[in-house]
């Protein structure tokens, strides 16, 4: 664990002291939001993010969190695959939510996970 404060849970995965990834959740009452998740580029596709989500889920369950939400860009296929593989399901979409400096736009997909 990297840090824990009222309303926030941050997890870090490491190998011999070197950080491999992190996940940051915000908790309010019995709901949480995954704010960010990242893996070191050299550690991607090795299960780091999936492990962080599994550990985060168990920590949140211990905090009596019932539901976790997240938002992801519709074009982010690797992240969407990870979230769906770990039990999240899409519940909504925000059309053209993201605007990029090159003028491009992307929809935001809203995902939900029930923790039982």
Helices (H), the chain: 48-62, 77-85
Report field, pTM of the whole predicted structure over 0.95: no
Is the confidence at residue 2, as pLDDT, over 50? no
Mean predicted confidence (pLDDT) in 23-47:
88
CATH number at residue 8: 3.40.630.30
Mean predicted confidence (pLDDT) in 90-104:
95
User: For this structure, is 83 an active site residue?
Assistant: yes
Number of independent structural domains in the chain: 1
Distances from the Cα of 5 to the Cα of 10, 24, 25, angstroms: 9, 11, 11
Is the confidence at residue 108, as pLDDT, over 80? yes
In whole angstroms, what is the distance from residue 77 CA to residue 54 CA?
Answer: 20
* Contacts of residue 19, Cβ cutoff 8 Å, sequence gap at least 6: 12, 13, 40
Is the confidence at residue 113, as pLDDT, over 70? yes
Domain residue limits at 46:
3-114
Catalytic residue among 33, 71, 97, 98: 71
pLDDT digit string (tens) for 49-89?
998 899 999 999 999 999 999 999 999 999 999 999 999 99
Greatest alpha-carbon span in the chain: 43
For 14, the enclosing helix (H) or strand (E) is strand 8-15
User: For this structure, is 71 an active site residue?
Assistant: yes
């Amino acid at each position: 664990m990297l840090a824990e404060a009222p309303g926030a849970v941050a997890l870090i995965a490491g190998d011999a002291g070197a950080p491999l990834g992190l996940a940051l959740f915000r908790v309010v009452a019995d709901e949480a939001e995954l704010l960010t998740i990242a893996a070191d580029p050299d550690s991607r596709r090795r299960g780091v993010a999936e492990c962080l989500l599994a550990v985060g889920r168990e920590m949140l369950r211990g905090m009596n969190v019932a539901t976790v939400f997240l938002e992801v860009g519709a074009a982010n296929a690797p992240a969407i695959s990870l979230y769906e593989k770990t039990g999240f399901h899409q519940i909504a979409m925000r059309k053209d939510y993201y605007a990029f400096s090159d003028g491009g736009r992307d929809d935001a997909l809203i995902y939900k996970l029930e923790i039982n």
